[in-house]
Amino acid sequence: MSDLTSFKVHCLELFKKTHNLYGSEALCLFQKCRVSDYIDSHYDELHTFDERNIVEDINQYITSYS
């Protein structure tokens, strides 16, 4: 598994736990809002964030996507 793929899984797990979601719910939201593409584009910056800031950044992205 590549570093990028591992990081995407990590982001999904953090998001799921923070928002008390089932994995399928978090994955559905990530797919709907194209979070994977966002992570691809911002990996260099995102992977330096702490867990709280990763979730905050993804929350902001999802809010602006809608």
Number of domains comprising the chain: 1
pLDDT score at 25 = 97
Domain that holds residue 21: 3-65
Residues ≥6 apart with Cβ < 8 Å to 16: 22, 23, 25, 26
pLDDT score at 17 = 98
pLDDT digits (tens, 9 = 90+) for 6-61: 999 999 999 999 999 999 999 999 999 999 999 999 999 999 999 999 999 999 99
Question: Is 66 a residue whose pLDDT tops 80?
Answer: no
pLDDT score at 41 = 97
Residues ≥6 apart with Cβ < 8 Å to 13: none
pLDDT score at 10 = 97
Taking the C-alpha atoms of residue 15 and residue 51, their distance in angstroms, rounded to an integer, is 9
